[in-house]
Chains A and B, each alone.
Chain A
Amino acid sequence: MASPLSGLPGSPIEPAEAPFVTGPSAIDDEILGQLLRKALERGGDFADLFFEYRRHAAISMEDGRVRSVGGGVDMGVGIRVVQGSAVGYAYAESLELNEMLAAAQTASRIAQSGGGVAPVAIRRLDLKNRYPVAAQVVDVAGADRVALLRRADAAARAEDPRVVRVDASLVAVHKEVLVCSSTGAVGYDIQPMVRIGVAVVASDGQRTESGQSGGGGRFGLDYFTHVSPEAHGKEAVRVALVNLDSRPAPAGTMPVVLAPGDSGILLHEAVGHGLEADFNRKRTSNYTDRIGQSVASPLVTVIDDPAIVGSRGSINVDDEGEIPIEHRLIENGILRAYLHDRISATHFKESSAGSGRRESFRDVPMPRMTNTLMLAGEDDPESIIRSVKRGVYAKKFSGGQVNISNGDFVFSLTEGYLIEDGKLTAPLKSANLIGNGPEALTTVSMVGHDFELSDGMWTCGKDGQSAPVGVGMPTVKLDRLTVGGTAV
């Protein structure tokens, strides 16, 4: 599938609608100062206020009929007081001053140092917009949003008579955040999001299999001119039909070639989480104390890039009010950096944080990935496949997980092929792949020149909080990875 992430028109024209920004309840500098003073009245190193307004619109279609239409608004403010690495946290689900002050007081109890810290003068951060959107999907008329799903549904059904069921969904979000910390910096951002998903079941009378396709990102309606609803419908059918012919995957350790794009989930699990600095501050990650050391093959360069236009993981400002920048995590195999939030940046005496993210105003921020990518190499993708005598070509995935401490990671293959004598042969039944982060990446022996960004569908979970992320990589060969099939 083509990457939708090029040639976007226009500049940001979304109007603000959050009541803390516009209208009679708008939060002014006076109230910000008052809340910060209350939060820090018992002391503390710093405090921050995270105002969030989230309006969403969702449609689900089942077998060609709209099953439900949903939508709603969620709004509130999370208040945090930090002393050392100790955090006091509370939130209010309203902009009533007394409720916000009560939350500030609850959060303040963490601090014991007594002396109040006066916040400095409030100043607004000037942010670049990495996701200018002309027409937000959340504002598109309901009938027109239904029509998008109907196009996906019809395309899937028309594709093949073996399709027995099609479900499709469209979720659009308009989110505004305003972050103000006791440094005085105020970051304000509008964060649009759209996501379409199509799920197909196909049956040939003997076997029943499923296929899915989804995508989106911080786009408006223009997303669907880059990737049509029909394309997702057809892609879901293609995967289901491939799986109708699948045979049991092999079991054991063998070479694995990762297809470009979605395979980036391997980076996310194998190295990304282990480089989140909270785990290294707590010395629970197997990358603890390894900055400057070789942790991967010299062919491997991994970055976390919050600035990819329209990508699902991109952010203009992080959820602690810091402007996020590109981080080179691994450069030619050498571990260069962790991903920091404010607490870990202070601990490691790092100047830049910028990776502090949270699911909502009800949650504390922590170091998180944005868009995690492996940069392209020089190998021809065809020759990478040709170099494998017997192994697995891994193309699509349903998700992954990592054990931070020992570095073991898994990811679940939903479309894969056996490689025999340098050629893709039989499609394989779903199977897990398992490896160990630092060990797996040292076995990277070829890196393709065909970098691809995965279309926006990934949600990362950490400590019960989910966050939208992006991944991407070129075709990559790992000499040894364990494949969890049933065929011995």
Chain B
Amino acid sequence: MELESVASHAIEVLRSLGVQHAEVSVGVGKELEISVREGEVELVKEAASSGLSVRVMVDDRVAVSSTTDLARDSVAAFLARAVDMAQISEPDPMAAPPDPSELAREIPLLALFDPRTDRVNADEGIALAKRAEAVAFAFDPRITSSDGASFSRSSSHGVLATTGGFLARKSGTYQSLAVQAIADDADGKKRNGSYWTGARFFEELEDPEAVGREAALRAIRALGSAKMDTGVYPIVFDKDAARAIVGLVAGCVLGDAIYRRRSYLAERVGTRIGSDRVTLVDDPLRDRGPGSRAFDGEGRPVTRRVVVQGGTLESFLLDSYSARKLGLVPTGSASGGGGIPHSSTSNFYLQAGDVAPESLIAGIEKGLFVQRMMGFGFDPVTGDFSRGAEGFLIENGQLTVPVGEITISRNLDEILKGIDAVASDLDFKTAISSPSFRVDAMTVGGA
């Protein structure tokens, strides 16, 4: 079934039903999920799915719905129900789609679909996962069990069509390989080390050997983990933990958060929100980028945007609705085509610095290296941040003993202003990414 024709047909049906504005998204996808544990296959899951979702606007009233049934008759009946549903909504002219003149005309060609990934079969996935797990077990006799290794891949094709005349296709692949290794500690506790690799293109995956080795290393290095003393210390965030901090900032620069008054950055455009080391970029046009998109969820063109430049907040990321609410110009940052469009980041990252990650701990007399965080302790309205942490004590410029069952806290505004060094180890395995960085001080809650 051709996605374009299903989408165009749906738009025609909606026009005939008297709908002024609509977006239709039609997609198909397939997935493979493998897990192995202690050398044995635990799960092989394979499936294909399809779906159509629609947002209709009738007399400025909005309704959204979705279906997995793409047969023509079913789609027509489904669309009629969606139009009926709009009657109980309330008129909201700001929910209108972009003017047709604002829609993307040229769609940039981005490398987001890897036919090699698309072809990975169950046997190949099993072999990769088994190899990664075997390396973890062989790494050290103290690795006593495993939560297993998993491989998954997904492929998708989707078409967005709008009553404004937009029609374009997007396709993508992604796969990941993960291992979780467990070591038994002296006090009866178990220590887990996990590591994963992920990419749109098969050739960009790290070797299964590297993944297994790193997972095992992390479990072994956590042996003997203890609390550290409560106090205020300099903190170095490993890039996996650093990414989570960048993700919190991402949530606070979105138009939806701003007009809903759910961001501590709402009134801060043009002001300093971080140290001069903090430059944050949203780039939808990266080849192979996990968060890349050639057009946004409303059909607008997209572009690379520096959101924070040297510590100064330059702009928010806006879809049509949030831009209208705020009296600003949309930035082509909508996702959710076929549903309620909402502002979102694409590939959002903290720009790399020029120092090696190892150098971040140099000169710290006593501090904390954070490898992993837990929990959801962040209030976007105030910026207050408090999460569980695991990592290593830094003493006299060296990582010494593993620490855990502690919290780290400070307001995000102060955290960003306290970033005094950014490393060069940025990678793009996730849509939100960050190099390792150092914060001058945070409160550690511990013993």
Contact = CB atoms under 8 A, between A and B. Distances in A.
B and A form one assembly: yes
Contact of A68 (B46, B62, B146): B62
A282 B148 contact: yes
Contact of A432 (B43, B69, B386): B386
Interface string B68-96: 11000000000001000111111010010
B182 A430 contact: no
Interface stretch (A127-135, A301-309, A478-486): A478-486
The CB with the most chain A CB atoms within 10 A, among B87, B146, B386, B404, is that of: B386
B189 A69 contact: no
Nearest to B38: A282
A106 B30 CA distance: 13
B93 to A, nearest CB: 11
What is the predominant secondary structure among interface residues of chain A facing chain B?
strand
A432 B65 contact: no
Nearest to B388: A410
B16 to A, nearest CB: 21
Interface string A383-425: 0000000000000001111111111111110100000000000
Nearest to B340: A68
A430 B385 CA distance: 8
A485 B409 contact: yes
Given A251-B230, A434-B407, A75 B64 contact: no
Contacts of A167: 260
Contacts of A488: 230-232, 443
Interface string A114-148: 00000000000000000000000000011101100
A412 B88 contact: no
Nearest to A94: B69
Interface residues of A, number: 85
B88 A484 contact: no
A94 B49 CA distance: 10
10 contacts: A68-B64, A68-B340, A71-B85, A85-B42, A89-B44, A89-B45, A201-B381, A251-B445, A288-B190, A433-B407
A431 B379 CA distance: 9
Contact of B92 (A67, A86, A407, A408): A67
Q: Which 10 A-B pairs have the closest CB atoms?
A: A484-B407, A142-B88, A410-B375, A410-B388, A432-B377, A405-B192, A251-B445, A252-B230, A89-B45, A405-B190
Given A362-B47, A407-B189, A209 B381 contact: yes
A90 B47 contact: yes
B43 A364 contact: yes
A110 B381 contact: no
B446 A482 contact: yes
Contact of B68 (A76, A209, A411, A434): A76
B384 interface: yes
A148 to B, nearest CB: 12
Interface string B228-239: 001110000000
A359 interface: no
B46 A106 contact: yes
Nearest to B225: A406
A142 B47 CA distance: 35
B398 interface: no
Contacts of A70: 63-65, 85, 339-340
A73 B144 CA distance: 45
Contacts of A89: 43-47
A62 B68 contact: no
Given A435-B405, A486-B410, A68 B89 contact: yes
Contact of A165 (B65, B222, B260): B260
Given A110-B44, A251-B444, A430-B377, 11 more contacts: A74-B66, A76-B68, A201-B261, A279-B147, A284-B190, A405-B190, A408-B374, A432-B388, A436-B405, A482-B445, A485-B443
Contacts of B374: 401-403, 408-410, 434
A484 B377 contact: yes
B227 interface: yes
Nearest to B36: A86
Given A165-B261, A401-B388, A410-B387, A69 B407 contact: no
